[in-house]
Structure 1
Amino acid sequence: MWLIAHQHLNVRFAQNHITLSCIIRNYQLPTNIKSAGSSRRTEHAAIPNDNVGSHSHLNMSSTEQIILATALVLVKDSSGSYQVGRALLDSCSQVNFITEEFSKKLSVSKHKHRLHVSSICSSLANVKYQTLTSIKSRHSNLELALNFGITNHIAYQPSSEINISSWKVPPNTPLADEQFFKSKRVDLLLGAESFFDILSVGQIKLYENLPVLQKTLLGWIVSGKCKGQPFASPAAKCLLSFEDTVSDQLEMMWNIEEVQPASKSWSPAHVACESLYRETVHQNAMVRLPFKDSLDCLGLTHNIALHHFCSVERRLSSNRALKQDYQEFMKQYRELGHMSRVETPKTNESHYYIPHHCVLKQSSTSSKLRVVFDASCPTTSQRSLNDILLVGPTIQSELYLLLLQFRLHRYALTADIVKMYRQILIDKPDR
């Protein structure tokens, strides 16, 4: 049995951002939120008029308003349970949206996804994050898994409360939103991706100057023009309100030009590993293995390692040159003192036999053969040595910062530390 020191290296990859353009319909916005196009003018390719759907309130009287279809749906959260959210149904939106407040309530994970949203008057807005979750109907078996762009605000519907005391809604029409007449915040916007999948056959026209009831798999939705209480300014209104202001754009420019190290956001495991390292490692001292679990959870490994060893032996027996290189590698390992022979193994104590095999890399200029020691091989308890070791945080600079540094100087040098991971001395109790 040979004792070998080993170490792991974490590599962080840069994430690509995908850009997508979409056209959405304009909706109302609370008076305290600025219109997306009011902060600045943005020049970009013209959008054909027949591709943009919009509602104009400019010619409407102060006692009329358009009711947009809303529905209460069940939305899956991070625990697999469902929470009720208020959705706005929009057949002219190419993207589904969810408010940041509601996504936090669901605790769903989000990922970076650049999305440029184009609306009427060539105004642009940007979505930086996207999330995936499922919605389910309260009145049928309908369930859809959808991607949602995360935005700060969607809309309030309707703009003011509507008096429906004189309306005669048929009793056999379960509404998708029982309080459609109350001005409430919208949590979700369901676009054309799912709009036509939820429609059903059935429509009821209440009376003149009253909206229409449309049957859907989410329940009966209410939509259309109606006469109601006077509401604030009848000017055209906009759905999304996250267009960056001039100051935001300037701040983004400064952030791009100024290179700063990323703030440490370590997990509890990273913190524990760092603390253990600071407490146990000193200059010219030996390193302790950062165990997070007891060694007693490791099962038997002798037969497993022996099986791997016999498999390697059979492979090497058919290739004499490969066998010689393998033996030379292990001989050098021993002569350099990177492993030592165990004369009297203490099998009654917790231990771990590490299987090993060879990897050939013909393009290598230094060593075409390397022996890999597999500390992730599970024991009879299905736990491996790597499973019970803490993984430290990534301490090297971001990859893009390293690339940028190559452009700051005329000359750049690269070097490789020979057998770097074998230069670490493991403390005797952990050998």
Structure 2
Amino acid sequence: DEYLERESFETSYFSTVAAAQEALDKHTAASAARDNQSVTGSSAFSEHWDILIIHMVTSKLDSHTMRDWETERNHIKSIPTLEEFNSFLKNRADLLETMEEAQSQKHTRRHSDISHNRPKTFVLIPTTRINCEALNIPSHIKLADPTFSVPAEVHMLLGADLFWAVLSNNRINLGKNKPTLVETTLGWIVSGSIQVPYSKHNKMQSYNTVHCHFLNNIELEEKLDKFFEFESVSTTQQSRTKGESECEQIFTQTTTRHPDGNFIVTIPLKESPECLGDSSQQALIQFKSLERKFNRNSEFKQKYTDFLEEYQTLGHMSENTNPQDDKTSYIMPHHGILREDKLTTKLRTVFNASSITSSGKSFNDIQYIGPTVQDDLLSILIRFRQHKYVVSSDIEKMYRQIYVKEEQRSLQQIYWRSDPSEPIKLYKLNRVAYGTASAPYLATRCLMQLGQECTDKNVGETILHDFYVDDYISGNDDEQTLIQTCQNSPTEFMGEKC
């Protein structure tokens, strides 16, 4: 009963701390946003208001959040901006919000143990020297740490399972406003409140302390540190590299909209495409190899032909009738993979933009990969598990919803003919092609842009935070609200409200 009572207290305590921390971080983030709006209007702070506001807000942070912010600053090469600081606070609040509060005050069978980890601490315990003579500890008691009254660093943090295993039932209460002696397999420990004077007027101050006087094991401590390093969930975002920043700059400066509403993007290149050599010979060899495979498998040929005919019918590729007019050119080999275990797409066509040209470089070699712009999968799944009702779906032909700038389409060409008796023709791919290095970034970045431009706040939030690549993973605690969301699918949201 005593064990269950303590476990119930710990569950309630940590859930309360998490809720309080969540509220504090959200309040701090909101305050920072309000300060942002009020200060930016003043010309006096036009240059240094970011630094000033960050300084004011950080003074209100708790020690844990402040430590994480210092860690985050180490990853930022330049002076941190207010936008980066607000992003840090929001990410931390989102993580704390996903911690589910216990619904019962008592231990239930459906209970998961939580490991509460702290880095190695240099806090001295106790914070001041204690007068042992005033405690009247019996002389026959052998303490696990005879010098417990002298301020010293914590030697080791023990898990709850091990802590209760070393305790025995023998206890000695030293009296009112005095601690309790508890016997363990390693000796007696001192636990409880100690009243000590803290001023010249001899007023009393209470210290609630629990001391576990065990020997320090350096090797074990290092292993635990590594374990918690692997298991921890980071609340900070890695700073972008120079290449990622340039990639983002290309997108923001060159992306436009087609009359049909779809994005027109520029493939982010880190080198001039003029460095590419001849790619036609390798592409032609692999296409003829593909045709030989068609002769051996008629079903494979039919599916492949249907796929590329649909590609052409939808306008996603078009014949290049004047290849001599192209300043630069790259022809991608392509092949197909049959996946009989799939219920929908049994054939997957692969465009190989990593094929080396005669110069030793491929199209993928000269592209930026781009930064990750969506929330990490773990955060999305953690939020997904908090909902009472959930839904999942995906965007059909996500990459092919995005136009490539016309001047770059000659870098996305393939050989094709549906009948061996016909001449081999050259086709340009007009849309973002899977198999190119920048395709995942371009597709997800366009999706994020939709979320940022969306006039409906709720729709914008679900686009920004509930997508992993093209997979939509979301939910709601209200069934009717979720049904309404499903009826107005994210694709319709994008078309009508974004």
Task: Verify same fold: TM over 0.5.
Answer: no
By relative contact order (CA 8 Å, sep 6+), the higher-ranking structure is 1
Normalised-by-shorter TM-score class: 0.3 to 0.5
More helix by percentage: 2
